[in-house]
Amino acid sequence: MTSRSGRASKKLSGAVCALAVLASTLSTPPSARAQNDAPSLIRDTEIEEILHRDSDPIFAAAGLDPKNVRILIVGDKSLNAFATQGLQMGLNTGLILQTENPNQLRGVIAHETGHLAGGHPIRSDEMMRAGLKPMILTMGLGVLAALAGAPDAGAMLIGNAQYAGALGALGYSREQESRADQAGAGFLEATGQSGRGLVEFFDNFRYQEVFDQARRFAYFRSHPLSSERIEVLRSRVERQTHYHAVDTPEDLARHEVMKAKLEGFLNPQIALMKYKETDTGFPARYARSIAYYQMKEPDRALKLLDSLIADHPENPYLWELKGQILFEFNRVEQAEEPQRRSVALKPDAALLRINLGQTLINLNDPKKVEEGVQELKRSLLNEPDNPVTWRLLAQAYDKQKKDGEARLATAEQY
């Protein structure tokens, strides 16, 4: 698993759907905005594969090509999800960890797909205009009141103009949210899945409705929640044919593995408390191994990981993790074999090839450096815009004294 802050992709752009801009400006404390200025984007082949397994049928039901929809895993503990222009969907790790089962997560994904399919991100300028009209009108009334000899009333109107704008924008946002709910319910039904998960997810956070904007989770600031909205959605999904469909044991297992992995990487101390030593299940051992790794205890992490590999030798992600741990703790020569095993087991995974390429170019053997260059080039066939790959290629070319290629690779990084 890797994470990057700041500008994570050359193609990451566009307006965020359902973001009540005026409302969030008024309600979000400056300290909260500062904390979330540059959340990291997480790349992890295993988690991305699980998310696409959950999402791709929903995208197809919405008439979207799953290959064209990019899922962004945002390393942020706040509960949030969003859709942006360019067919991009963001899921905060905090939201993923709050879902109790795959059906709940798929419900949120279906809702956000409703935004994408409905073109809501593209029409975000309409929502801004919906907020600007009442704001400008209220400010105009305030000016007229002041000129008419009522400066106190004028000041009050002008001071409340932004609030009026926020209400206008939120009204438009609520309309979009309702449409996305209904569309999402339809996508779930079309794929043979229950819409119950989305209702359950909303029900779990119904109490957010009574909080002021500053205290609400980010998701419910940008996705206004109300009891009426929940009941309308419940009425729809309870009438659907697949309402009683349940998650398969395999889907439940994958969901638990994803949550365990995220918990281990992002909240290692919590992971060790949650996944006790007495728990010998795969997710628990996986989470503890990752947690020890994050807490700078590589030997304990590797011991647990080796026991997992002994039980699951065909799991490429266990080999990937072993190579990652060895590499990051300066055991580069030992990292090579696990990285090779991961690529052999999952040859189409660009990120695994990048890891192998990085290991090879750090062995300082000219033949290995050249092999690393070839592995990095192969990864570009699947991810031509990955800035990490271009940075590593620039480093490799620099080692090979290929100044021109190094400069070109550096330019491609940006």
Let me know: does 186 contact 194? Beta carbons within 8 Å: no
Q: Are strands 40-43 and 2-4 parallel, antiparallel or unpaired?
A: antiparallel
Res. 164: pLDDT tops 70: no
> pLDDT: is 120 or 375 the higher one?
375
pLDDT of residue 126: 46
DSSP-based three-state secondary structure for 90: strand
Q: Which two tokens stand for residue 49?
A: 């594969």
- Report CA-CA distances (Å) from 26 to 22, 211, 310: 6, 15, 55
Q: Angle, nearest 10°, between helix axes 196-204 and 161-190? A: 150
Q: Which residues of 201-215 are buried (b: 16+ CB within 10 A; e: fewer)?
A: bbeebeebbeeebee
**CA-based nearest residue to 102, from 44, 54, 45, 46:** 54
pLDDT of residue 209: 52
pLDDT tens profile 44-101: 999 999 999 999 999 999 999 999 999 999 999 888 899 988 899 999 999 999 999 9
pLDDT tens profile 266-300: 999 999 999 999 999 999 999 999 999 999 999 99
Res. 413: pLDDT tops 50: yes
pLDDT tens profile 347-403: 999 999 999 999 999 998 999 999 999 999 999 999 999 999 999 999 999 999 999
Q: Which two tokens stand for residue 176?
A: 């979009």
> pLDDT: is 334 or 20 the higher one?
334
Let me know: does 221 contact 20? Beta carbons within 8 Å: yes
Q: Are strands 88-92 and 81-84 parallel, antiparallel or unpaired?
A: antiparallel
Q: Which two tokens stand for residue 123?
A: 């029409």
CA distance 203 to 100: 12
DSSP secondary structure, 187-220, as one string? HHHHTT--SHHHHHHHHHTGGGGGS-GGGS-HHH
Q: Are strands 70-75 and 81-84 parallel, antiparallel or unpaired?
A: unpaired
Confidence of residue 3 (pLDDT cuts 50, 70, 90): confident
pLDDT of residue 203: 85
CA distance 127 to 92: 23
Which residues, 6+ apart, have CB-to-CB distance to 175 below 8 Å?
none
CA distance 277 to 395: 42
- Report CA-CA distances (Å) from 208 to 29, 179, 212, 375: 17, 21, 8, 49
Q: What is the CA radius of gyration of the chain?
A: 24
Amino acid at 303: K
Q: How far is CA 253 from the centre of its chain?
A: 20
pLDDT of residue 156: 54
CA distance 135 to 166: 8
Res. 141: pLDDT tops 90: no
Res. 122: pLDDT tops 70: no
CA distance 42 to 28: 25
Tell me which DSSP letter residue 68 carries.
G
Let me know: does 390 contact 403? Beta carbons within 8 Å: no
Q: Which two tokens stand for residue 171?
A: 């009204």
Can you list the pairs that 67-75 forms with residues at least 24 positions away whose Cβ atoms lie under 8 Å? 69/116, 70/11, 72/8, 72/12, 72/41, 73/41, 73/42, 73/43, 73/44, 73/47, 73/48, 74/39, 74/40, 74/41, 74/42, 75/3, 75/39, 75/40, 75/41, 75/42, 75/266
Which runs of consecutive H residues, i.e. helices, occur in 62-160? 93-98, 102-117, 124-147, 151-159
Q: Is the pTM of this model over 0.85?
A: no
